[in-house]
Amino acid sequence: MAKKEELKVRPLDDRIVVEPLDAEVKSAGGILLPDNAKQKPQRGIVKAVGPGRLREDGERSAVSVKVGDEVVFGRYGGSEVEVGGVEYKILRESDILAKIAK
C-alpha cells in the first residue's frame, strides 16, 4: 500500500490550507470552455487547519472546518502557494464562505 504523503505546510492561527478543485471545462449549457475562458476555482478541499484564532483572554477559538471538508471561498481571497509541485490557497477562516454538505 502506498504511504500517504504528509503536507509540509502548517497554518498558523485561524488560517486554512485548501487545495482548489479544477476549474469547470464545460459551461452549464454543455459548451466546452477554452483555457482563457475558465474562471478561477472557488471550491476546494481542506488539507490543513491552524489551531484557531487567539482571543484576548489567551484561549483559542475553535475552527469550524476540518481536514477533508469541501469548502467554497472567495474568488480572489487568500494567498496562492506551491508546495511539492501542488498549488494550494492559504485562507483565513473568514475567507471561507460555506462548507459543502455531503
DSSP assignment of 8-45, as one string?
A: -----TTEEEEEEPPPPSB-TTSPBPPGGGPPPP-EEE
pLDDT tens-digit map of 49-73: 999 998 999 899 999 999 999 999 9
pTM here? 0.75
CATH of the domain at 29: 2.30.33.40
Task: Tell me the residue range of the domain where 71 lies.
Answer: 16-99
- Report if residue 8 sits inside a domain: no
Tell me whether residue 81 is in a domain. Answer: yes
For residue 88, give the amino acid letter: Y
Residue 71: per-residue pLDDT: 94
